[in-house]
A and B are shown apart, each in its own frame.
Chain A
Amino acid sequence: MDFRFTDEQTMTADVVRDLVADLCQPADLRRLMASGEPFDQNRWAKIQELGLQSALVAEEKGGLGLQPVDFVQVAEACGYACLPEPLVEAYGVAIPLLAETGSDAAAKVVEAALEGSALIAFGHPANPFVERADTADWLLIAKSGGLDLVKTSDAMCTLQPSIDPFRRLFSVQYDEAAALRIGAQSGIEGPIASAFDRGALFAAAQMLGIAQRCVDLAVDYAKERQQFGKPIGSYQALKHQLATVQVKIEFARPVLHAAAAMLPQANALSRARVSHAKLAACEAADLAARNAIQVHGAMGYSWEVDVHFFLKRAIALSEWWGGPAFHRRRVAERIFNGPLGPEHTFAKELEHA
């Protein structure tokens, strides 16, 4: 029992954290927004060079064979930066799923995706739209009973503008005859369910990053802004609000990390942990964003202050990959049917727990 990240796990996240700290500051976000481009080409090229496309792909499928726990801090770093590019969704969710199907028909697409020469967007019934469908080369669409792999050029993608300027949502229609049905074989439900859990887990991770960023932005402002002759951050009313937010963050983080470590169990216990992580991170991000706006006062309600980018991403992610009602249901299933009590915190299976 050792509830700490390994040096390798932390180093992987540090690389991404450093990269986005360098290339994904609010000024960069504003520049991209003004350009109307879907990607910051320079940043995306640098991200691709990291080679994380293959991170969660099994070694025998040409990947690094890492686990969600190796990737979760990467997703936190992406949330902290409000990263527009689809590092998390493509590398954390879509590519590993397509590789896991083992479909011969999809092998070439997987190969291209691992090289960075093909981009895959993933559609799941939990989400009403497909994010960044238009700029993907392939669409991987989960539906009951299987997976469709569709060339984006064979699909009709209709933009559904989001309040988050960097989330590009599309409704997607395609002729099923033109799709490659790669999930017809039995046993595809497991990989799709795991991909869903990764989606939810990494959304939670991003929200935790968002929450911490909101606190940090608020703290920076509260140290500078003076009223009544003192920095507003010296007043208890404000200190106590931000401390309350930080407590929320501190008790969402270990849940997130445990959920990441448990995810491969793929049972009711691990799914409840993922759902708990998403609920906790969602609450932390919501509280953090609203408090950050409050701390900034009227400035917080302005376009000029950067907090709204994080608020908007938090709003979007809280409902993406299952909203609170869905995740509460999974927690309820765990609680009302599983073993309870302190000796079961790290239980692996329901029967033998």
Chain B
Amino acid sequence: MDLNYTPEQQTFRQEIRAWLKAHVPSQPLESFDATRAGFEAHRAWERTLAEGRWGMVTWPESYGGRGLDLIQWLIFEEEYYRSGAPLRVNQNGIFLLGPTLMEYGTPEQKARFLSAMASGDEIWAQAWSEPQAGSDLAAVRATATRDGDNYVLKGHKIWSSRAAFADWAFGLFRTDPASERHKGLSLIFFRLDAPGVKVQPIPQIDGETGFAELFLDGVTVPVFNRLGGEGEGWKICMATAGFERGLMLRSPARFQVTARKLVELYKAHEDEVEPSVRNAVLQCWMDAEAYALSIYSTASRLIAGGHIGAEASTNKIFWSEMDIAMHKTALSILGARAELLRSAPEAGDIGRWLDGYFFSLAGPIYAGTNEIQRNIIAERMLGLPRA
């Protein structure tokens, strides 16, 4: 065990720190979920990142990356969140679909999709859930019917993150009409502006339109848009979910920066809050550190050739519950001012804690509910019998 950064890793940190200092917008961008303008501002930032070849540092150079390992990715993320750079509008693409494409895509598919993803030219949404297929994702009904070199998509997808403004979506479709449950599904890409796609934004709890429902009525896509073999969709979807829950979706730096801000908030209001808040602040900081150490441990194992397993589920439960605790603690420090919108004249420096709190409440739901994650831990890690 060696918990020291190498000189190369330290140099890398300085390099990305300097680049971010020179390039991160001085004013926060408008939310990418609220307006087209906010979305496009984030796309422009993705392009700036890509010009510096910082779009996706772990990817091979041929796809716009730097071919770096997961420890360097963690260093990148640490500096990224430290700098206050904008959230990644293309996270569905670069963090979820990207790694899966890298593993299951043909060379032609990689060439077609990865560079455009890293450059921000194509922003992705996910289209997994359906009205009757939420936690029970294998109940997917949307169909992809083979027609020569094409598939014709039909069905109703919902809770598609980023779909209101994104360019592309990837989703699970039943390619074998006689199939049931996990069999006969395929992972297929489609453009969100294709004929036959109707995008209906869904206002979220905070009034923004972060997700949408998609009505697909005879959407024709080439067979080329299928990732992996026909009928392999479930397996590939689970691999994507592993990355999503397990590692890349929520890098530890995000929470460590929140913990730092929480400590600063507490220090500023120390005299006004009740004593128990102090312990809550300590716990939040410790949890953020524990998550970071855990991810370093996982990254070290993956670099040495390991695979991500059920810890994807333990990670997802841990970060989602921690995120709620941090924001809830912040609200308790802000007291009666916590309910103010940032536009309120008296809001002062209350920050974005309320926005963050609402967003944190989605954490135990998206990327597979925490109830499903607990089933996975119980059955696959502990070996308890299925119901």
Q: Which residues of A contact B (CB under 8 A)?
A: 1-6, 9, 69, 215, 219, 222-223, 230-231, 233-236, 238-240, 242-244, 246-247, 250-255, 257-258, 261-262, 276, 279-280, 328, 331-332, 335-336, 340-343, 345-346
Contacts and interface: CB of A to CB of B under 8 A. Distances in A.
Interface in B276-307: 278-279, 281-282, 285-287, 289-294, 296-297, 299-301, 303-304
B378 A239 contact: yes
Contacts of B318: 247, 250-251
Contacts of A343: 13, 78-79, 82
Given A251-B294, A251-B318, A342-B252, A1 B3 contact: yes
Contacts of B6: 1
B2 interface: yes
26 contacts: A1-B9, A4-B297, A69-B1, A222-B384, A223-B385, A233-B385, A234-B387, A236-B371, A238-B384, A239-B384, A243-B375, A243-B381, A247-B377, A250-B311, A251-B318, A252-B290, A255-B290, A261-B1, A280-B290, A328-B279, A331-B282, A341-B256, A342-B82, A343-B13, A343-B79, A346-B4
A130 to B, nearest CB: 31
B268 interface: no
Contact of A1 (B2, B279, B374, B384): B2
B260 A254 contact: no
A257 B1 contact: yes
Contact of B314 (A231, A250, A341, A346): A250
Closest 6 CB pairs of A and B: A239-B378, A342-B253, A342-B78, A243-B374, A254-B293, A243-B377
B382 A340 contact: no
A3 B293 contact: yes
The interface centre, meaning the residue of A6, A234, A247 with most chain B CB atoms within 10 A of its CB, is A247
Contact of A340 (B4, B9, B260, B384): B260
B263 A240 contact: no
A342 B71 CA distance: 13
Per DSSP, are chain B's interface residues mostly helix, strand or loop, or mixed? helix
A253 B311 CA distance: 13
Nearest to B387: A234
B246 to A, nearest CB: 12
A252 B291 CA distance: 9
A251 B9 contact: no
Contacts of B260: 340-341
B100 to A, nearest CB: 24
A239 B253 CA distance: 31
Interface in B149-186: none
Nearest to A343: B78
B12 to A, nearest CB: 11
Q: On chain B, which size bracket covers the interface?
A: 35 or more
B259 interface: yes
A122 B176 CA distance: 70
B217 interface: no
A243 B378 contact: yes
Interface in B1-56: 1-6, 9, 13
Given A233-B384, A243-B382, A247-B317, A1 B263 contact: no
Contact of A258 (B293, B311, B379): B293
Contacts of A328: 279, 282
Contacts of B215: none
Given A251-B291, A254-B293, A255-B290, A223 B384 contact: yes
B294 A1 contact: no
A328 B278 CA distance: 10
A276 B286 contact: yes
Nearest to A273: B289
Contacts of A1: 2-6, 9, 71, 296, 300
B257 interface: yes
Contact of A246 (B2, B253, B300, B314): B314
Nearest to B264: A340
Given A2-B2, A255-B290, A345-B256, A240 B300 contact: no
A279 B290 CA distance: 12
